[in-house]
């Protein structure tokens, strides 16, 4: 009796899975309309959007069907559906649970220059509002930032990914951030790759109080905030030559400079002892962490330097690489929780 009931349950699960998979395609078509598109990547991003909706609508029925199939089989034959259920469970965690989390990681640096004030900074990157990170998650990020006692928020680029056309309305929660909000543009913001939204995005960010630093310096609390262009879509080399015209030497006192850039590799272009601290993003910390494979993938596709998550010692000075908030490519995170880095700079 119980076995027959489980078999009926399994049959319904597979039917609902097929229906939900078809529904996911239809919702993806509707959802993809009215967005900024990345040229030549429309199909890839649409497939990823299908995975985004498929995990939400069809994934639970797939898991249900596999478990029901395993229970209905003799013990000796259960391992295949149970193994499949394990993989689906990990996929659902990575798709539905981990991207919704936000952790706060604190780093403390001492010995700041005498001219600079002690400060507490929130550092984030790779928000990627749009295709996968939705309005409620952006609002939750803003709420978490406002719950922190920080003097400023630094955003190391990649604000959006295939977002809705109305950038001003969509990014409106950023205006609620209570601390001063400084940032630079990332490669997906400046068509490297990405849609042609750089100027509308810049205007929307500035309208909501974001002070963009690309190619600029800004005096703040005894510090000099320096923003550098994205390495793939900008001209950070020329900016570095202009901002450090004579370079530095290891014997030169470390200036009260905080460098904000998108890609960690940009910091490798800086002269020695160029800044007290540099911050970057871009790597997502690997986003889906598979030991051995993820570091290899990062070094061959994303960054030339082995700087992808955490605090590193570089010739230019300390570098903090934050693992980001959103996702791109597969709409999932695994063992790389979205992170707000809080940096305390003390005497």
% residues pLDDT > 90 (the chain): 93
- 10: confidence class by pLDDT, cuts 50, 70, 90: confident
Q: What share of the chain is helix, strand, coil (3-state, %, to 5)?
A: 40, 20, 40
Is pLDDT above 90 for 174? yes
Rounded to an integer, the average pLDDT of 182-191 is 98
φ, ψ of residue 140 in degrees (nearest 5) = -65, -35
Single pTM value for the model: 0.95
Q: For position 248, what pLDDT does the model report?
A: 58
Taking alpha carbons only, the member of 267, 279, 281 closest to residue 316 is: 267
The answer for residues whose C-beta is within 8 angstroms of residue 116's C-beta and 6 or more apart is 221, 222, 223, 256, 276, 345
Q: For position 39, what pLDDT does the model report?
A: 94
Asked if 173 and 138 touch (Cβ cutoff 8 Å), the reply is yes
Q: For position 255, what pLDDT does the model report?
A: 86
Burial class (CB in 10 A: 0-12, 13-18, 19+), 24: buried
Q: For position 4, what pLDDT does the model report?
A: 65
Q: For position 2, what pLDDT does the model report?
A: 58
116-159 confidence digits (pLDDT tens): 999 999 999 999 999 999 999 999 999 999 999 999 999 999 99
258-276 confidence digits (pLDDT tens): 999 999 999 999 999 999 9
- 254: confidence class by pLDDT, cuts 50, 70, 90: confident
Taking alpha carbons only, the member of 236, 160, 267 closest to residue 205 is: 160
Q: For position 235, what pLDDT does the model report?
A: 95
Asked if 264 and 282 touch (Cβ cutoff 8 Å), the reply is yes
d(CA 46, CA 331): 11
Asked if 55 and 17 touch (Cβ cutoff 8 Å), the reply is no
Q: For position 8, what pLDDT does the model report?
A: 80
191-233 confidence digits (pLDDT tens): 999 999 999 999 999 999 999 999 999 999 999 999 999 999 9
Rounded to an integer, the average pLDDT of 51-74 is 96
Is pLDDT above 60 for 249? no
317-321 vs 277-280, strand pairing mode: parallel
Q: For position 108, what pLDDT does the model report?
A: 98
d(CA 210, CA 155): 9
Q: For position 208, what pLDDT does the model report?
A: 98
Is pLDDT above 80 for 5? no
């Amino acid at each position: 009796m119980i076995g027959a009931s489980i078999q009926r349950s399994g049959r319904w699960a597979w039917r609902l899975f097929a229906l939900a998979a078809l529904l996911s395609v239809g919702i993806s078509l509707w959802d993809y309309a009215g967005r900024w598109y990345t040229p030549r990547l429309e199909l890839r991003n649409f497939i990823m959007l299908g995975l985004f909706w498929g995990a939400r609508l069809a994934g639970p029925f797939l898991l249900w069907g596999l478990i029901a199939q395993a229970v209905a089989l003799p013990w000796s034959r259960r391992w295949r559906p149970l193994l499949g259920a394990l993989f689906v469970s990990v996929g659902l965690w990575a798709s539905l649970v981990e991207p919704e989390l936000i952790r706060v990681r604190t780093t403390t640096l001492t010995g700041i220059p005498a001219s600079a004030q002690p400060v507490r900074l929130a550092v984030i990157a790779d928000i990627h509002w749009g295709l996968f990170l939705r309005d409620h998650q952006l609002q939750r990020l803003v709420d978490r930032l406002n719950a922190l006692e920080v003097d400023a928020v630094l955003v190391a680029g990649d604000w959006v990914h295939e977002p809705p056309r109305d950038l001003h309305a969509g990014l409106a929660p950023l205006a609620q951030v209570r601390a001063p909000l400084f940032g630079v543009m990332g490669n997906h913001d400046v068509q490297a790759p990405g849609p042609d939204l750089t100027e509308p995005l810049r205007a929307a960010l500035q309208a909501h109080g974001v002070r963009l630093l690309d190619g600029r310096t800004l005096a703040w609390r005894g510090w000099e905030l320096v923003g550098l262009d994205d390495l793939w879509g900008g001209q950070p080399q020329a900016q570095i030559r202009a901002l450090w015209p004579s370079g530095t030497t290891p014997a030169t006192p470390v200036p009260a400079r905080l460098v904000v850039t998108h890609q960690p590799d940009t910091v490798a272009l800086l002269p020695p002892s160029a800044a007290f601290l540099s911050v970057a993003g871009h790597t997502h910390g690997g986003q889906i962490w598979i030991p051995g494979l993820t570091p290899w993938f990062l070094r061959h596709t994303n960054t030339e330097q082995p700087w992808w998550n955490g605090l590193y010692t570089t010739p230019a000075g300390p570098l903090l690489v934050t693992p980001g908030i959103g996702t791109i490519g597969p709409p999932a995170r695994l063992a790389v929780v979205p992170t707000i880095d809080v940096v305390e700079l003390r005497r």
